[in-house]
Amino acid sequence: MQIEKNTVVSLSYTLKADNAEGEVIEVARETDPLVFLYGAGSMLPRFEENLANLKSGDPFEFRLESADAYGDQDPNAIIDLDIEIFKIDGKTDEEMLTIGNIIPMRDSEGHMLQGRVLAVTPQAVTMDFNHPMAGQNLHFTGSILEVRQATAEEISHGHVHGHGGHNH
């Protein structure tokens, strides 16, 4: 079976920064593969486009420009937040505010965000809310492990159930 809309894809891959010689960012091994419902909108669109029509056992290699991945770095996503936001019972958790730490937060509309601590002063915390891979070109190499037809329930829920997927 080949990859098309409403198929469940299981694959292993190595993701490197920029090109085949770049730094390894992430690895999904055969023993712990990436499993997703193709065409459900959970993956980067260009990532899926590069996998279209592949079959179980097929290798793949492709590069995504940053604009087709997580976008360019947005300077407006780096902001200073009042130190008071980070105080609990009047005390600042200094371990939490370590430079480089990722802190889960919510924006004014209640959306979850991941912010990386860039700097801390007595008045403010500078946070970067860009995606960690924003501004990076991505290079994928890997292999399609399995392709199967999604169940009606998986299609209606928009995600894979069972091994490698969502359990509810």
Two domains, one topology: 7-70+133-157 and 75-128: no
For residue 146, list its beta bridge partners. 10
pLDDT digits (tens, 9 = 90+) for 12-37: 999 999 999 999 999 999 999 999 99
What's the pLDDT at 163?
66
pLDDT given for residue 78 in this prediction:
96
User: What pLDDT shows up at residue 39?
Assistant: 96
Which pLDDT value is given to residue 108? 84
Report in angstroms the alpha-carbon separations of 57 from 10, 30, 47, 150, 164: 11, 12, 18, 19, 18
Which residues in the chain show pLDDT less than 70?
Answer: 163-168
The hierarchical CATH code for the domain 75-128 is 2.40.10.330
Domain ranges of the chain: 7-70+133-157, 75-128
pTM value surpassing 0.85: no
pLDDT value for 162: 75
Confidence (pLDDT) at 3:
98
What confidence score (pLDDT) does residue 135 get? 94
82 alpha carbon, distance to own chain's centre: 28
Number of CB atoms found within 10 A of residue 59's CB: 9
CATH hierarchy code of domain 7-70+133-157: 3.10.50.40
- pLDDT score, position 93: 81
